[in-house]
A and B are shown apart, each in its own frame.
Chain A
């Protein structure tokens, strides 16, 4: 079965640079979520989109922005990168069509961002 696709898988940037992470949800999934996982930490929710509209917001820095496009893929844009932004960034998707499993989020493999 098709899974969530994230690109790139690895990204190295310098401080103050910008980065764009991409996420392609499972086909027919309408909701996309972004999480950040620091070393030895649990995933922290950043932001989510449903039907191309922002639906929930967590601890996302103002330097970050995200959007969901008409084909349901999403991009996380990160500017003025800091050393502390180095982390694994996961995208997850779900479908609200099936109410019995609408809370089940399926995760991509993640993008490992290293800021030097």
Chain B
């Protein structure tokens, strides 16, 4: 039972445009959400996070939006750069539990 779902295995965008990566979750007890970026042969790199008490968090080119009622979050990257090409994982955790539950990832390709 996949509690965190990334339904798009891949996404391709042009350099300079917006990349939107989506994530849905089923467990309403999740209260903290994170996005990680992963290059081949490397560990996941933390990008940005959001607590369930917020609906938006911004850090430079990265913005995460949370819609609790829809159990949906998205990561916006503006403007997209070729160096952003990687696999992006959405992860969630539940208050009091430390483990992160990951989605299966979306492979983003930013074309020059």
Contact = CB atoms under 8 A, between A and B. Distances in A.
A104 B49 contact: yes
Contacts, number: 59
Q: Which of B4, B42, B43, B49 has most chain A Cβ within 10 Å?
A: B43
Interface string A46-66: 001010000110100000000
Size range of the chain B interface in the assembly: 20 to 34
B42 A109 contact: yes
A42 B104 contact: yes
Interface of B: 4, 32, 34, 36, 41-46, 49, 89, 93, 97-105
Interface of A: 4, 6, 31, 33, 35, 41-45, 48, 50, 55-56, 58, 90, 92, 94, 101, 103-110
Nearest to A42: B102
A107 B43 contact: yes
A56 B105 CA distance: 24
B59 to A, nearest CB: 12
Nearest to A96: B98
